[in-house]
Structure 1
Amino acid sequence: MLGRKLKSRLDLVRPYIASRVLSNQNQQKYYHDRHTKSRTIDIDDTVHVRKFAKGPNWLSG
């Protein structure tokens, strides 16, 4: 009906866990972001790129 999900008495037996999953993901992101450093790369900064093919492992970029 009009794009809505109909509710029945069986929905009370099986709880809707999407909100709980979303809150747990937000909590994990909060704890992860507390320990990360913000990094900025400016123009003309020297950077190194990891190369996984044969040859030297790191290349200047």
Structure 2
Amino acid sequence: MTPHSVNGVSPSELMLGRKLKSRLYLVRPCIASRVLSTQSKQKHYHDRHAKSRTIDIDDTVHVRNFAKGPNWLSG
């Protein structure tokens, strides 16, 4: 019955679709607010280092080749 770090819900609760009969869940805060606050923190930390990139028409780009041959292909 260990809760997940992001949404605060245990895997058994997610699997069964209901809260298990336990007195501990009566004192837990609202799950939706915890998920939103955790996601907003993750977005804040991601946006600090994320780069804004724009690709225009006729720009040379490279794509990763996972088949045999060269690792990168021009596109």
Find runs of 4+ consecutive structure 1 residues off by over 2 angstroms. Answer: none
- Alignment pair present for 1:31 and 2:50: no
Equivalent residue for 1:55? 69
Q: Larger Cα Rg: Structure 1 or Structure 2?
A: 1
State the distance in 1 between where 2:72 and 2:26 align.
56
How far off its partner does 1:57 sit?
A: 1.0
Q: Secondary structure of the equivalent of 1:26?
A: helix
Residue 53 of structure 1 aligns to which amino acid in structure 2? A
Tell me, in whole angstroms, the C-alpha distance in 2 between the residues paired with 1:30 and 1:57: 33
CA distance in 1, matches of 2:62, 2:27: 51
Higher relative helix content: 2
Identity %: 76
Letter in 1 for 2:40: N
TM-score, normalised by the number of residues in structure 2: 0.60
**What stretches of structure 1 of length at least 5 have no aligned partner?**
1-9
What is the aligned residue count? 51
TM-score normalised according to structure 1 size: 0.71
| Residue identity opposite 1:55 in structure 2 | G
**How large is the RMSD of aligned CA atoms in angstroms?**
1.8
Other-structure match for 2:33? 19
Deviations 1:12-33 (A, max 9, x none): 8153222112111111101110
Consecutive unaligned residues of structure 2, counting only runs of 5 or more, are 1-22
